[in-house]
Amino acid sequence: MKAGRLGLAMRDDPAVVALVTRAAGSDPSAWAEIVERYAPLVWSICTRFQLSNQDAEHVGQNVWHLLVEQLGRLREPAALPGWLAITTQRECLRVVTAAQKSQRPGTKLDQAPQIVDDTAVEEEILIAERNAALRAGFAELPPRCQQLLAMLMAEPPYSYAEISAMLHIPVGSIGPQRARCLERLRTSHALAAFGEDDIGVNMGGGEPGA
């Protein structure tokens, strides 16, 4: 799934439709999941406009407030990511325009963009959707796989000797088990809409420190 096709590909995402439907019905867990899923998208667009942290937080608050007002009126619930991106751009432009009028010290007016490239926004949407799908796919894995992959993804990663001792797995079996767990993750229902290149899963490719 390349960025140029993202708008069409995500339009029929049943997971997003279900989230919007639940949130519109005042399901607090759905609201929390929407914010967790798309807050990085909102923040990344603010970053592209070179807003200060304070302005970015203000924009974010406005975007979520507007979503509360408009969520039940979205004509295409699956288009939520695009709606968030467009709304965030509009709110960022408000901040930039106000800064240009007031000439606030420290504002990078000459470098702040007037609009973020559509391709860049679609890439950010793809990242948000991919990360959400990875979290959902990870949650579907058996506990043993979750433990193993979590240890391999830790910063710094656990050594194979530590993993072997803690999970009671022979060192020689860690690599094959990792491969099987990753294959289950790649083929999970949550990641069905993504191609191999889009997923980019590579957790613990070799013996840490080897």
Q: Quick: pLDDT tens for 180-190.
A: 999 999 888 88
Q: How far apart are CA 125 and CA 67, in angstroms?
A: 17
Judge whether residue 131 has pLDDT over 70: yes
Q: pLDDT band at residue 61, thresholds of 50, 70 and 90?
A: very high
* Whether the predicted pLDDT of 151 surpasses 70: yes
Residue 1 clears pLDDT 60, i.e. is over it:
no
- Taking the C-alpha atoms of residue 130 and residue 136, their distance in angstroms, rounded to an integer, is 10
**Rounded CA gap, 208 and 71, in Å?**
46
109: helix, strand or coil? coil
Average pLDDT of span 105-118: 57
**169 pLDDT more than 70:** yes
66 phi and psi angles, rounded to 5 deg: -65, -35
More confident residue, 117 or 169: 169
- Quick one: pLDDT at residue 134? 87
Question: How many angstroms separate the CA atoms of 103 and 78, rounded?
Answer: 39
The two tokens of residue 69 are 């007002």
Between 10-19, 35-44, 86-95, the lowest mean confidence (pLDDT) is in: 10-19
Residue 163: pLDDT above 60?
A: yes
Question: Quick one: pLDDT at residue 208?
Answer: 46
Band (pLDDT 50/70/90 cuts) for residue 2 is very low
